[in-house]
Every structure is written in C-alpha cells, then in structure tokens.
Amino acid sequence: MASSKVLSNIPCLLFLGAILIATVIGCGRQTSQNPQTPTSTASKDAASESVDGDWLIRNMPAEPKTLNPVTARDLYEVVVNRNVYEALLRRNNETLELEAELAESYIISDDHLTYTFKLKQGVKFHDGAPMTARDVAFTFERIKDPKVDAAHLRNYFRDIDRVEVIDDYTVRFVCTQPYWKALEVVGTFAIMPQHIFERGDFNSHPNDRHPVGTGPYKFVKWDTGRKIVLERNENYWGKRCHLDRVVFKIVTEDTVALQLFKRGELDLLGLSPEQWVRQAGSPEFEQRARKLTYYLPSFNYIGWNMRRPYFQDKRVRRALTELVDRETILQKLLYGLGKIVTGDWYINGPIYDHAIQPWPYNVAEAERLLNESGWVDHDGDGIRDKDGVPFSFEFLIVPGSTFSDQLATILQEDLKKVGIRMTIRPLEWATFEQQVQDRKFDAVAMGWSLDVEGDPFQLWHSSQAEKGSNYVGFVNAEADEIIEKGRREFDAEKRRTMYRRLHTILHEEQPYTFMFCPQALVVVDRRFENVKVYPLGLDPKEWYVPKAKQKYGRESNVP
Amino acid sequence: MKRRTERYWTITWRQFQKRKIAVIGLVLVAVLMLVAILAPLLANDRPIIMRYQDRYYFPAAIDYAQFRNVEFDKVVAKFEKSDFAMFPPVRYTPTQYNLTDRLQGPGRKHLLGTDDRGRDILTRMIYGTRVSLSVGFVAVGIYIAIGTVFGAIAGYYSGKIDIVLSRILEIVLCFPTFFLIIAVIAFLPPSIYNIMVVIGITGWTGVARLVRGEFLRLKSQDFVTAARALGANEFRIIFWHTLRNALGPVFVSATFGVAGAILTESALSFLGFGVPPPTPSWGDILAQSRQYVEFAWWLAVFPGAAIFITITAYNLVGEGLRDAIDPRLRQ
Amino acid sequence: MVCAQSETEVRAGEQCAVKVYITRRLLLVIPTLLGISAVTFVIIQLAPGNPAAMALRLGPEGVRSDAIAQEIVEQTKRLYGLDKPIHVQYALWLKRLVTLNFGTSYKDHRNVLEKIVERLPISLQLEIISIFLVYLIAIPIGVYSSTHQNSFWDNGITVFLFILYSLPSFWVATLLIMFLGGGDFWNVFPIYGLISDNYAHLTLWGKIGDRLWHLVLPITCLTYSGLASISRFGRVGMLEAIRQDYIRTARAKGLTEKVVIFKHAFRNSLIPIVTLLAALLPAMLGGSVIVESIFSIPGMGKLAFECILARDYPVIMGITTISALLTLIGILLADLCYALVDPRISLE
C-alpha cells in the first residue's frame, strides 16, 4: 500500500521497525577531547581489521515529505536524518540510557527546572561552519514558534519555557514545572544550523530537501520518488563510519522490494511474516542473506470505548479479552513472530512487568463473566442484552491493514457464538482518525509506537479522556494519582515501581485488549560485517565490508 | 397498438433465439442469478431439510431458536431410525474460519481452497455472486439509463442544447469521484450499494458521449427524415427509431461496464472501500490474492474465471439483443 | 441548400467555420473549468478529516500523539488558511490562479505546480504510449473480427481478450515481476522506476534503450486490459458500418472487398473509438495508480491518490484543474475528429 499514513498495523510496523534501525546515533563511545582521526580504528568487537568502502543500499517503503527535522511528521525522515543531524544526547545502543552526543556534559538544577548543557567544541556543520549554542537556541525557538508548522513537536515542549545562551558553548533550558522526561525532550531534538535556516521561510525552505547537519553522513542528493543518497562526512568530529555511502531506495511495494533484494539491488530490507516464512527460507537465500529479528517498541490492541453501556463493566471487558484466542492468532497468522503484551510499555524497557500473565483464551469463563454482569439473552433473539439494550456494537478498522481485517472477521465469528453481535466498519485513515478523535466509536483496532520509557499521561490520565489520546475514556482515581506523582518523580527506580502498579491496574481493568508486540524481520546481505542486533534494532554506522567482498566503489556505476 | 407491441417483442425474441450462442449467454446469466438467489441452500453448514423427532425442519432457510449456534453434526449423531437430514452440497458458511487450514490449495476438504483465514473459497464465491451480479446491475443500470437519455438529447438536438449539456457532461467527467466515495462512506452506513450508486451517478459520461456520437451520425440519415415525413412525433423518433440503431456501442459499454464494476469493486476492496467485511465478494477474494500471489494462485484464478464467465455471458446476451433489435439484421 | 459555388469559396467557407468552432469551444473551456473547480472545492471540504487535525496526529514518534489542545489545531488551521468561510477561500484560490500560483502543498510545503510538473510528463508518457499501442493492436483485431464474424479466430481471439480483461492489473503486474523481473526466475526486465542507476553514464542509444527496457512491463500492464474493450467497440462500429446502404451500393458498383472495407466502412466505424479516446486520458490517470505504485514510477496517479488520502487540498485542486484542462482539450479534439471521420456530421 502506497499510503505511508497507516502506522497502526503490523506489516507497516514491521517495515518501520526495520527502518527504525538504531534510535541510537553513534559511531562509538569516544570522549569529547579526541579530534576525529581519518584512519579508522578497528572496533573492539570486529574479528578482522575493519575496512573502509562500499555502499549500503536500504529500502524505504515511502518517501519522506521533507528532511526538515522540525516540520517533518513521519518516521521516514527520522531514518534518514539520524545519519545527518545530531542532538545533545543520544541513547546507548545496549543500555538504552541517555548519554552525551553533541553535549560534553550537563547539569540539572536541584529543583529540576533548569538544564544546563556544555557543548563540545570544534564540531562543524557539513558546510564547514562551527556549531555553537546559538544553533541550539535557534532550533528550540523554531520549535516553539507558533508560525512554524510543528504543532506536533511543540506539544512535548509545553513545560519547557525558554532557552538561554550563556556563551558560545553553553546553553540553558528553563522549565515551568519539573518533569522527569524533560531531559529527554531537550536532549534529543536535532540541532539545525542557524546561519542556513534563519533566512527564508522555515516552513518551506530549500534546505528541507538538502539537510545540513553535524552527523557522520552528509547529504548528497534526493532523486524525487527514487532515492536519497548520503555520503560519509570526512570531517566528522566523532568515530568515522566505514561505509562510504548510504542510499535509501524508495520502494513502496514489498513484493517488488523482495525481488530487488534477491537480485542484489537492495542490501537491507524489512519483511512481512508471510515473506519471512515462505520466501526467505530457501538455502540459497540463507547463503546470501542474514536473517535478523528484534522487537519493535510498539504494540497493537483493541480499544473498548468505555462510555458505551456494553463496555462499562470491567468483567465484560475481561470476558471480551478472554474471547480472543491471542495465542492461536499469533501462531497461525503471524507465524509466532511476536509476543502477547499486557500493558503499553516497551517490552524490553525498564518498566514492563513480565510477571503479569495475559488472560488466557477461555470461552466458558468469558460466558460466566458475561452472565454475571447481567448480559443475558432475555428476549430469546440470540443476542445478549441488559436493560433493554442489545449487545451489538460496531468495530472500526483501517482497511489495507490485513491484520485488522483478519482480527475483525475472526472476532466477529467468535462473538456470534456467545451471543454478541459485532459489525465491522472499515474507514479510510483520515475519516478513521476523525471518528476516533471525536470518540465516535464502539471498538477500534489500532496500535501505538512507544518511547523507550514512556509517560502514561497521554493515554491513561482522566484529563486526556475528552480531548487527548485517552480515546477509550479510562478514568481511574488511583491511576491518575500514580500518573501525576510519576511525572515529578526523578528517582528512576521509584518511578518505575509506581508505573508497574499502573501496569497491574491496566491488566485488571482491560480498557484495551492488548494484542501483540510484533517482531521486526530484517534481511541483510551477508557481505556486511559487524552486524549486531541491539534491543532497539540495528546500527549500520558500525558496519563494514571486507575489501574482497566490496561491491560498490567510490564513484561506481551501480549496476 | 397493443397487438403491434406484442408482435414486436415476439419478433425480437425469435430473432434472439436464432443465435444459439446468445441463448447460451442468457442461460449462463440465468444460472448465475439462480446461484445468487439460492446461495444459502447451496452452501451452508445447516441441512436444507431435516426430519428430527417426528417433525420437519428447514434450518438452512429458517432460523430456529433451538438450533441457533448448534453444531448439526451433534444433532445428526442423535438421530433415530426415521430421522434424516439433507445437507447442501457445500458444507461451509462464508464466515466460518479455521486458522489451521488457512491458505490451502484446492483439495478434497475445500474444493477451491481456502483464504488467509481458512474460509472456504467455493462458499465465498457462491455467496459472492450476489454482490457481483447486483453491483453490475445497479451501477451499470444507473449509468446506462442516465447516459443514454442524456447523450440522445444532446446528439439529436445539437446547437445550444448540446453546448449546455456537453458542458455539464464535462463537469461531471472531470469530477473527483474518489472523493465522493470517501464522503459517502463516511456519512452513510457501510454498504457497497452506496458506492455503486456513486459510480453510476458519476460514470454515465462515457455512455452519454458514445450515444451522442452515434446520434450525431444518425440524425442526418434518411430514415430519420422519412420518419419525420411520416409525421411521427419527436419523442418517438428519438427514442424509438434512432436509439435502436445507436445501441451497438451501448451494449458493448454495458458489458464492459459490468465487468468494470466488478473489477472496480475489487480495486475498492483492495483499498478498503469495497464490501464491508465479512460480506463475501469476488472482488474481495481478488484483493486478498495480491498479498499471497506468489503461491496462492487459487485466490486469483477462480474469481478471475468467474468474472470472465460473467462478462462473456453478458457480452453474448448483449450482442444477441443488439442483433435482434437491429431491423437490418432481420432474416 | 447548396448554391453553385466555386471550390475555393466552399473550402474557405469550411475553414472559416472550423476556426469559429474551435474558438468558441476554447472560450467555453473557461466556464467549464470554473464549474469544475468550484464543485471540486466544495466536495473536498465535505469529506471528513481536515488537514490541520491530521497534521498533528503523526508525531515523530509515530502514531502516539499528545493531547491535542484545541488552540494548536486552530493555529495550524490559520496557517493553512482553513479558518475562513468557504467562498472566501475559493475566491482567494481563484485570485492566485490567475498568476498560475496553485499554492503550496500542506504535506511538504512545496510549490504545487512544481510537484505536478515533476510528475505529469511521466504519467503522460506512459499513457500516450499505452493508448497508442492499444489502438494499434485493437483496431485491426476489431476489423478482423467484424469481417470474419463468428469464425474460429474471431471467437478464439474474443475469448482470449476477455480472459485478459478479467485479470486485475495488480495481479498481472505482480506475476510479471515475479517471473520476468529476476529474483526467483528469469531476470529479463527491470522492475524499478523508469531508468537505471547508471543512466547518466550511458551513451545516447544506451539511454534510449534503457528507457524502453524499463517501460516494457508497466506499459504491458496498462495496455492489456484496454485491448478487449477497444477491439469490441471497433468490431461493433464496423458491423454497423458494414450494414449501411452505401456499402451495398459500393459493393454493387463492383469495388473490391478490401476497398469497401478500408476506404468506406472503416472511416465510419470510428465514431465510438474516437469518443473513447477523449475519455481514456482521465481513466488512465486513475487506473495508473496501481501500476505506478508497483513499479515505483513517480507519476501523477500516485500523487493524486496520496493527496486525497492526506487531504492535501491545494494539490488536489491543482491536479483536478490541470487534468480537467487536458481532458477538455481531448474532448475538443475528439469532436473535431468526428467531423473529419464522418462528413455528414457538421460542426455547428
């Protein structure tokens, strides 16, 4: 499907997962004082000597609209710009903790309202101009500027009031309220060059299509509709990357993409479960390609609108969860390539409580719960009812997402057998969003993509029930308390324990029937070495190709 | 007057019958219609007729309270000597799924294979006939009706009337139909018929232009002058004499219109605007086939074959009708 | 009533009539375009989902979105100019149109005209070649079918073409890619885009060859389904034409069958075909979405589809207006051809 908007379905998430390779920017863990050395030092883990050269040709399922990190709204821009732009901090590939990138060090005030960063010196943008605190401040002010088309990003910065430039290499952010995620918010936005973007209309700037950052790769060209090409930054301040070029080929059809991979015209690609099992299993394929998997920070679910009479009782919601045979669906439809989840936290993250077991598939128990909560077929028409209201609801899905479609028809058939009537309503993405936003739905199949460590405020706080992302209308006093206290809790362990209690509450209340965290299924050409799988994915900046196997020269004719 | 009309249609029918192949087409269409109407008796997990405990039941057609959600195999197990049950030839319902049997090719258990949820394809094709046939009739019926009248008037009268009508036609032609479909889906309850009405209302322009072209050609011909000389009124000239000769392209257009409607339904299903699930339709099976095209050939071949049979049948009937109506072909 | 006139006078009179006709038609294009753009403008605002709200939902973290403060939606609306009443918006759009300024896209803030001009030649290229091929192959088949009505070949070809027609293009395209596009089976044709990666390094002949090689599969997909319908229309047109009295006269005059068919009947059979030509352009624009998506060809069909889903109003208006203009010109040409093809049709 050509549309890049449908992010709430598994195949798309899998592609995105493959694309979401390395939320970590980093060619290594250098300290700031070392000037960049043009000769690469072998990475400690490489068995043989690393070698410069060759290109990586990656698939991109949709074209980004722009490469301006502030006005961009899709994940594809992020994938490209992770190589070009950098931020004050980044996440470590293995520990997932925030560590320094463009910042040399930082200080947080005791009241958690002031964040002062000392920047690395000698960092240059790709055009040679030096990076200073003014660039940081400029980018921050663009984000906060209401005339800039960045409302989505501005939301995160609501508590962060202003920025102060102390000197060329010191910058300070001041917040209006203490918030434990503030460090992440100010630390992970891409720093853009003021001298380029201050002239012209920021919303439609020519450099939106020609990004200029400080990262290990610099932009070469963008063939609209075809590809985006990046080239190694020879003056990079940090650890040099081995691959000369990274090419993002825009291929919207997964069938075509796999054929291109088999022909050798693509080196890195994300597959659907169907392709993974049926078309990437032959011995010839395994000879050419490495098959890698990891878990994406995302999950899908069925949301029950708790304002509706049928979904108000938590016994009913639990019954519905027990009527979905998640294990079988996972095994048969997704070939077991995923995991059932019980809460909206990243499965490899620090909060997720693995001790909580998902409710099992149990039709008898479900029927008992339904009967107990008063939903019984009083009038003999085959449909359960209560107080004159029949248990008949509408299930909203986005078409083009096979998984939702499959789930819906399976659910419909199973619910029919226990006397619940469900109709399926497919709506195109824009309309679907509108309905969900207006809370005009009974039940909905969607997905969320997650932060490494998330703040449950958006989804579960009662204030978000009418006007935020708490579409299902979950209102729970204890949950509210945990969420509010958690925002101000800076002791990580304490906070995580509090959130785990919330995880238990969600498990008992079942505002969602949590479904799966899908696995990203990635194939990589075998000629690449040092390909490691981290919790969040892959990091091609570490890869290299031995001289003998290199395919593309510096100025090569791509066959 | 009445006698003359009767004789006209009898003549037409006789002419029609003379072309054997057209009759075959008609038979095919009739078979398809029967399949559509009798679908629950052809494919169902309930018996058509059953004698149980000295009473007769018709579970396939009537929804009995005591047999709701009952597996009939269990009922059959409890049969006495005098009890019997006659099941339909295909023992599946279109929504019955079985994840273990998904994506199986044609075989003993499922004659035409299963889809990605383990639903029987033959059953879905049988029930799908309802959607596919009616989709064709509704959409094409509407746009042939509108288009023929519009084109006839525009082509016959020419001059100012043609100028205005042609401009209206152009506006409708350049209209973003897809947008209207989205709006309709959003506001009206999910039903493929709403979409088909939209297609009908926006798709008549092709037929209108064809008919207009034919009328431009025909109106200066002798038989029109002759009819005028005989004192026939305008209405009769347009809709009786001239139109009969202009129908050739209209029939072809109708034939391809029906096939096109079915294929459009498939494309819309693919995009998610087709029949709401779980309603079966050929287009829906075809849309699914794309994901598994590398190995699940049965998901495309069978609906494709069904479409092929349908358009051939309609085409033969259409050509037969045209030949029967055209006075010059009378033998 | 035809008075005695010299040939040159008649010819001059005809040319004058044609010029008047063309001028009048071209002038009529303006109100028609106004009508189309007005209707489109209203309809696209009807469909639910507004671009301002949609812009917010897709944050950089993906689907997870934050509390949408009403004021932020309003902010974006103001940015896009959506807060004004609809007739004011339309008037503003018209005013900009006079300077050929179609505005900027909501999605990526690029100039709309630039985006369209980038893709229009590509789509046109595909469609024109495809239409040309369809007619080249289908018309002779149609003529043959009509003269050998119900023969073995006629029926055989008909059946074959109907089978082709019944196959949806996405299925055929995927099959072609699998079997002829390398990977698993034969690697005969390229499957990605319109030019190779090393295009810049090729010689002139190399470039032409490269383009043609890339066009084979997409053009096949666009062409095969049109063959059935056009050939049937051609057949029907010929059958009508053959049965006309003047054909009997021609035969009675002793002209050879070949002359009868090709010189006399054929011209008159072309009416339905000419009609279709005009309608083919917008039809192909819509139908090429699938082919463009599958073969990664950055054409207008794909752009139009994506913009509708994203409610990118300026681009939708731009595409509708430009393709409407092209369609109207196509219809004008078709109407002119009517007169060319059948001398009994006069231009009024």
Q: Domain ranges in chain A?
A: 298-517
Query: Domain for residue C181, yes or no?
Result: yes
The number of angstroms, rounded, from the C-alpha of A352 to the middle of its chain's C-alpha atoms is: 17
Residue C322's CATH number: 1.10.3720.10
Tell which of A3, A428, A440 to mutate to test the B interface (max B CBs under 10 Å).
A428
pLDDT reading at A267 higher than 90: yes
- Higher pLDDT: A28 or A278? It is A278
Mean pLDDT, residues B12-36:
84
Q: For chain A, what percent of residues have pLDDT higher than 70?
A: 90
- For residue C317, give the chain B residue with the closest CA: B176
Tell which of A65, A185, A435 to mutate to test the C interface (max C CBs under 10 Å).
A65
Question: What ipTM did this prediction achieve?
Answer: 0.80
Encoded tokens for A338: 């995923």
Looking at the partner chain, which of C35, C48, C170 has a beta carbon nearest the beta carbon of B171? C35
Looking at the partner chain, which of C167, C271, C324 has a beta carbon nearest the beta carbon of B304? C167
Contacts of C201 in chain A (CB under 8 A): 557
According to the model, what pLDDT value does residue A19 have? 35
Cβ–Cβ contact C61 with B under 8 A:
no
Q: Which residues of C75-100 are buried (b: 16+ CB within 10 A; e: fewer)?
A: bbbebbebeeeeeebbeebeeebeee
**Nearest-CA distance B54 → chain A (Å):** 24
Phi, psi (degrees; rounded to nearest 5) at A51: -135, 140
Looking at the partner chain, which of B69, B185, B278 has a beta carbon nearest the beta carbon of A427? B185
CA proximity to B248, closest of A444, C236, A110, C320: C236
Distance CA C106, CA C310 (A): 9
Cβ–Cβ contact C182 with B under 8 A:
no
Query: Domain for residue C60, yes or no?
Result: no
Distance CA B36, CA C245 (A): 45
User: Which of B65-69, B310-314, C231-235, C303-307 comes out lowest in average pLDDT?
Assistant: B65-69
Mean pLDDT, residues A542-553:
87
**Nearest-CA distance C171 → chain B (Å):** 6
Q: How many CB atoms lie within 10 A of CB B26?
A: 18
Do the Cβ atoms of A256 and B293 come closer than 8 Å?
A: no
Encoded tokens for A149: 């088309």
- For residue A4, give the chain C residue with the closest CA: C306
- Contact flag C177-A259 (C-beta cutoff 8 Å): yes
- Contact flag A458-C177 (C-beta cutoff 8 Å): no
- Contact flag C60-A151 (C-beta cutoff 8 Å): no
Specify the length of chain C in residues: 348
Beta-carbon contacts of B20 under 8 Å, excluding residues fewer than 6 positions away, are: none
Beta-carbon contacts of C219 under 8 Å, excluding residues fewer than 6 positions away, are: C126, C129, C130, C133
According to the model, what pLDDT value does residue B73 have? 77
Strands A268-270 and A98-100: unpaired
- Homologous superfamily (CATH) of A298-517 is Dipeptide-binding Protein; Domain 3 (3.10.105.10)
Encoded tokens for A515: 């479904």
Tell which of B64, B67, B68, B70 to mutate to test the A interface (max A CBs under 10 Å).
B68
**Nearest-CA distance C97 → chain B (Å):** 18
Helix (H) or strand (E) holding B257: helix B243-271
**Nearest-CA distance B297 → chain A (Å):** 14
Mean pLDDT, residues A510-524:
94
By CB atoms closer than 10 A (0-12, 13-18, 19+), residue B15 is: buried
Distance CA B32, CA B262 (A): 14
**In chain B, at which residue ranges do the beta strands (DSSP E only) sit?**
49-52, 55-57, 84-86
Encoded tokens for C287: 């139908």
Beta-carbon contacts of B321 under 8 Å, excluding residues fewer than 6 positions away, are: B12, B16, B22, B247, B251
Helix (H) or strand (E) holding A245: strand A245-250
pLDDT reading at C289 higher than 60: yes
pLDDT reading at A16 higher than 70: no
Distance CA A418, CA A323 (A): 9
According to the model, what pLDDT value does residue B170 have? 85
Beta-carbon contacts of C96 under 8 Å, excluding residues fewer than 6 positions away, are: C102, C103
Distance CA A78, CA A506 (A): 31
Q: Give CA separation, B40 vs A210, A291, A382, A416, in Å.
A: 62, 47, 20, 18
- Contact flag A5-C58 (C-beta cutoff 8 Å): yes
Do the Cβ atoms of A158 and A101 come closer than 8 Å?
A: no
- Higher pLDDT: B322 or A386? It is A386
What is the count of structural domains for chain C?
Answer: 1
The 10s digit of each residue's pLDDT in A37-56 is 333 333 344 444 568 888 99
- Contact flag A428-B190 (C-beta cutoff 8 Å): no
Query: Domain for residue C291, yes or no?
Result: yes
Do the Cβ atoms of A353 and A504 come closer than 8 Å?
A: yes
Interface of A with B (CB under 8 A): 255, 274, 278-279, 328-329, 332-333, 380, 382, 398-400, 402, 405-406, 408-410, 412-413, 416-417, 419, 423-428, 430-431, 434
pLDDT band at A301; cut points 50, 70, 90: very high
Tell which of C171, C179, C338 to mutate to test the B interface (max B CBs under 10 Å).
C171
Cis peptide before C298 (omega within 30 of 0): no
Tell which of C45, C64, C217 to mutate to test the A interface (max A CBs under 10 Å).
C64
C residues 288-327 closer than 8 Å to A (CB): 289, 293-298, 302, 305-306, 309-311
CA proximity to A159, closest of A177, A143, A142: A177
| CA angle centred on A247, ends A243 and A250, rounded to 5° | 155
Phi-psi domain of A374 (left: phi exceeds 0; alpha: psi -120 through 50; beta: other): left
Beta-carbon contacts of C204 under 8 Å, excluding residues fewer than 6 positions away, are: none
Specify the length of chain B in residues: 331
Phi, psi (degrees; rounded to nearest 5) at C313: -50, -50
Over chain A, what is the mean pLDDT? 85
- Contact flag B291-A402 (C-beta cutoff 8 Å): yes
According to the model, what pLDDT value does residue A28 have? 29
Distance CA B210, CA A156 (A): 59
pLDDT band at C44; cut points 50, 70, 90: confident
- For residue B102, give the chain A residue with the closest CA: A332
- Contact flag A449-C69 (C-beta cutoff 8 Å): no
CA proximity to A209, closest of C201, C75, C111: C111
- Higher pLDDT: C148 or B272? It is C148
Tell which of A423, A434, A436, A442 to mutate to test the B interface (max B CBs under 10 Å).
A423
Q: Which residues of C203-237 are buried (b: 16+ CB within 10 A; e: fewer)?
A: eeeeeeebeeebbebbbbbbbbbbbbbbbbbbbbb
- Higher pLDDT: B74 or B30? It is B30
Contacts of A429 in chain C (CB under 8 A): 309
Encoded tokens for A421: 């009537």
Distance CA B29, CA B321 (A): 14
Query: Domain for residue C129, yes or no?
Result: yes
Looking at the partner chain, which of C165, C168, C275 has a beta carbon nearest the beta carbon of B266? C168
Beta-carbon contacts of A442 under 8 Å, excluding residues fewer than 6 positions away, are: A304, A305, A308, A310, A311, A393, A394, A395, A396
Specify the length of chain A in residues: 559
According to the model, what pLDDT value does residue C165 have? 83
pLDDT reading at C278 higher than 80: no
Residue ranges per domain, chain B?
10-19+27-35+121-329, 45-87
Q: For chain C, what percent of residues have pLDDT higher than 70?
A: 83
Helix residue spans in chain C (DSSP H) = 7-46, 51-57, 70-80, 86-98, 112-147, 152-166, 169-180, 204-242, 245-252, 257-259, 266-269, 271-294, 300-310, 313-341
A residues 496-515 closer than 8 Å to C (CB): none
According to the model, what pLDDT value does residue C58 have? 43
Distance CA C129, CA C219 (A): 8
| Check whether domain B10-19+27-35+121-329 has CATH 1.10.3720.10, yes or no | yes
Mean pLDDT, residues A202-220:
91
Range of the domain at C166: 114-341
- For residue B290, give the chain A residue with the closest CA: A255
CA proximity to B122, closest of B137, B101, B107: B107
**Nearest-CA distance C200 → chain B (Å):** 34
By CB atoms closer than 10 A (0-12, 13-18, 19+), residue A243 is: buried
The 10s digit of each residue's pLDDT in B75-115 is 778 777 777 888 888 888 888 898 888 898 899 889 999 99
pLDDT reading at A8 higher than 70: no
Do the Cβ atoms of B47 and B86 come closer than 8 Å?
A: yes
Query: Domain for residue C23, yes or no?
Result: no
- Contact flag C64-A458 (C-beta cutoff 8 Å): yes
- For residue C50, give the chain A residue with the closest CA: A430
Q: Which residues of A257-277 are buried (b: 16+ CB within 10 A; e: fewer)?
A: bbbbbbbebbbbbbbbbbbbe
Cβ–Cβ contact C348 with B under 8 A:
yes
The 10s digit of each residue's pLDDT in C124-146 is 888 888 888 988 898 888 888 88
pLDDT band at C53; cut points 50, 70, 90: low
